[in-house]
Structures are given as C-alpha cells and as structure tokens.
Amino acid sequence: MLSKVITIIFDGLGDRPVKELGNKTPLEAAATPNLDRLAANGICGLMHTMGRGIRPGSDVAHMSIFGYPMEKYYTGRGPIEVAGLGLRLQSGDIAFRGNFATVDDKWNITDRRAGRITDVTELAKALNGIKIDGIEFIVLAGTAHRAGVVMRGEGLSSAVSDSDPHEEGKPVYAVKPLNSSPEAHFTAAVLNKFLKQSNEVLSSHPANKKRVSNGKLPANFLLLRGAGVYPSLPAFKDKYGMSACCIAGGGLYKGIGAFLGMDIIDVPGATALPDSDVEAKFKTAVEMLVKYDFVFVHVKAADSLAEDGNYMGKKEFIEKCDKAANTLLKLPEDTLLVITADHTTPSALKAHSADPVPVLFCGAGIRTDRVAEFNETAVSSGGLGIIEGKDIMPEVLNLLGKLPLAGA
Ligand code: ZN
C-alpha cells in the first residue's frame, strides 16, 4: 500500500522544438533512460499548472500544484521569501523582499547591491527590532546583499508601493499608499520613517565605516519591494494529514516550502545552479522518507538555462538529472513518485510560457499506460490525459487511499 510521496518539480522543464536539436525539445533530445524507465512503469500526461492559457510564475505555479490557489493565498513575493529565511510569520505580518544598497546624500542609488556585498548579517542585526509608532521591524539577512523585512503590529496594510526604483542613478522612491485606507496611509508613513532611520543607523555602522576605509561602497540603504500580507493558511500537514519537507537550493523554493509549513532540509551542494548536486538531493529525498510522509524536491537549473536561451545547456542538465534519477528507480514499495514541472520555459522565448508540462506518477500497484518515454510529445498520449496543477494533490490522495468518499 502506498503511504509516502516524493514529488520532484523540475523548474521550467517543458520547452518547444528547437531547430538546432533536430526539431526536438531539450527534453526529447536528451538521453534520459532512467526517466524513460519511470515513465514506462508509471502513468503520464500533460499538465496546465494554473489552467489553460495562464502563463505561470514559479511561486504561484508551485502553490497550485500543492493545492493553495493563488486567488486565495498569494499576496506577493515578500512573505514567501521571508518564510524561506527561517522566520515563522504570523497572520497579518507585512513582509517585503529587500536589498542592501548604496545611496548618496540625496538618496540617489549608486549601487543596488552595495558593491556586491557578500554578507549583511551584522547590518541586518543593527536594524532588527527597530520600533516606530508601535510597529516592530524584523530584519533578516538573506544571501549576499539580500534581506527580508517584516512589519508586525496593528493597523497595517500591504497596499504600499516599492521604495526600489530598480535602476541605478535614480532616487529612492518614497513609499506611497496604494489605496485610500487609513491602514495603507499609516503603513506608508511608518515605512518612510523606517527608511530614514535605517539609513542613519547603517551610515554610522562600524561595518560600513570599515568598508568605506577599504575603498568599498557602504551598504547604507535598504530597498524594499514585493509587499505582501502573510495570509492565514493551513499548514500542509493539517491540510493533507502528511508531514512534509522541502529540499531545494534556491531561496524562493525553500520559501515556498516554509510558507506552506514544510520543514526545510539543507543539502550540501544544492546550489540551484547547473552545478547543483542533484544526485545528493535525490538521495536525501529517499532518506527523508523515514521521517516524512511527503518530500518535495525542487530542481532549478533547466529553467535558468532556458531563460538564457541555452537549449544545449538545458539538454545537458536534463541528462545530468536523469543520471541522478537512477536513485529513484528502486524506491521503497510504499512510495509514490511524482515528477513534473512548474511551467514550460521555451529556450527560444527565454521566458515562461503557457504550454503544458509533462507529469508522471509511478508507484507499486497503480495503473500504467503505453507511454515509454518522458517528454512533452510522448506523455501527451498518456493515461492521465491533460490535467491541471490543482489535480495533483487529489490524485496523490486517491492513490494513497486517503480521498474521502463523495456521496454514500
Ligand atoms: Zn519556475
């Protein structure tokens, strides 16, 4: 009887035929004996992650697959990124993504990444805990110049503009309310006070004085964007009755796992880049089955390579993933394997598209079909037909015998 699940999401795996690859997609052109074997043993289909005709962003595509529809639970990128930094957000918190940046005396941006500063831990600490008008600011260091910022308190709104003009040489934007509510006006006013105070604290911070004396740019400003309110949402475990963990290299994907209440498992060598140790991630996923019912594994690089137009790199990365998938051929009898993607990223477009993605279920005792290869064309004749992202979890529950009976 199936009782455990590994779900692997290859970011941007789907593609379109590439002339230089003999009119095959990178997935079709790649040698993938292990993924093909899994396809032959399982049941396949195509999936519109967010419904037909919708071009999904990665964050909301993942949420759809896990059964958290965008309309109900997505309020912006901020809360997801901040969850990925390890903070347990509370319902009503307003979260932002942030960059430590360099500004001049007139708040014109000299460098959006503060001279590619590599560690902002000390600077984040100096801002963490600032209180303005009864609102507490929680500031967390991210990787390199990145940070997460949370406003916690009464009377807040996420309807505020970014302070980040996204361009160097331009002045920092004053935060503005995006609607006429008193909450939006209050939040914008408090944020503008925070930006001023944080600029003062950062400018006089010893770490920045040292940077300047070493000829480096000071990280004297915190640019904020992507305001979102942390929604009240059921944790994955409560929603499905399965303990869950997330294995990912990229911050956004750890964030998605943490946002949904999954434990985050760090795997050395998981970088979210083409050099990522995919094999270590798959091996760790299998090990985690002892402790967790549901293991989500995210693999990033097929997407970033396609966004660079690098179809050959994408093909080679897929082949590397296929070698790593050797680990998945002999899973424990009680384990269901789901392999899919969050969206298609055609290398020719260098962007996400609405084309459906391949999806595969494989496990002991489940139905199979005649599909014997894992790629866009082969799976289109599979037994799952064309499904949507929101169909994945009901299908998982069905195969695990956990779906409630409709009617009598
Ligand atoms: Zn994606």
The string of pLDDT tens digits covering residues 358-407 is 999 999 999 999 999 999 999 999 999 999 999 999 999 999 999 999 99
Residue 135 scores a pLDDT above 90: yes
Confidence (pTM): 0.89
pLDDT one-digit tens code per residue, 43-61: 999 999 999 999 999 999 9
Residue 166 scores a pLDDT above 90: no
CA 368 to ligand 1 center in whole angstroms: 28
| pLDDT of res. 76 | 87
CA 352 to ligand 1 center in whole angstroms: 8
CA 37 to ligand 1 center in whole angstroms: 25
- With a CB cutoff of 8 Å and minimum separation 6, the contacts of 150 are 82, 87, 89, 93, 94, 95, 96, 137, 138, 139, 140
Residue 302 pLDDT level (bands cut at 50, 70, 90): very high
CA 303 to ligand 1 center in whole angstroms: 6
pLDDT one-digit tens code per residue, 14-45: 999 999 999 999 999 999 999 999 999 999 99
* Distance from C-alpha of 340 to C-alpha of 6, rounded to nearest angstrom: 11
Query: Quick one: average pLDDT of 58-70?
Result: 97
Question: Which residues are placed with Cβ below 5 angstroms of ligand 1, an ion?
Answer: 11, 58, 303, 342
CA 57 to ligand 1 center in whole angstroms: 6
CA 62 to ligand 1 center in whole angstroms: 8
CA 178 to ligand 1 center in whole angstroms: 28
Q: How far is the first Cα of the chain from the last one, in angstroms, to the nearest whole number?
A: 24
Query: Quick one: average pLDDT of 336-343?
Result: 98
Amino acid in the structure at residue 180: S
Q: Are 310 and 334 in contact (CB under 8 A)?
A: no
Residue 232 scores a pLDDT above 90: no
CA 243 to ligand 1 center in whole angstroms: 24
CA 325 to ligand 1 center in whole angstroms: 20
Q: Are 75 and 247 in contact (CB under 8 A)?
A: no
CA 343 to ligand 1 center in whole angstroms: 6
Query: Quick one: average pLDDT of 298-316?
Result: 97
Token digits of residue 154:
């009464």
Residue 153 scores a pLDDT above 90: yes
Mean of all residue pLDDT scores within the chain: 96
CA 393 to ligand 1 center in whole angstroms: 19
CA 54 to ligand 1 center in whole angstroms: 13
Run of H or E residues at 24 = none
| pLDDT of res. 349 | 97
Query: Quick one: average pLDDT of 158-171?
Result: 91
